[in-house]
Structure 1
Amino acid sequence: NRPLVSGRESNLSTGWQPLPSPGLLPLPSLYSPNCALWTQRLPPATPIRPREMSLKRECKFCRNNGEATATFSSHALRCPRTKQLICPVLRSYVCGICGATGDDAHTHNYCPQLKSE
Structure 2
Amino acid sequence: MFIHVMKSKLHRVKITQAELNYVGSVTIDEDLMDAANLIENEKVQIVNNNNGERFETYVITGERGSGTVCLNGAAARRAQVGDIVIIIAYGIMTPEEAKEHKPNLVFPDSNNRLV
TM band (smaller chain): under 0.3
Higher strand share: 2
Higher helix share: 1
Relative contact order, higher structure (CA 8 A, sep 6+): 2
TM-score (norm 2): 0.25
TM-score (norm 1): 0.24
Q: Mark the structure with the bigger radius of gyration.
A: 1
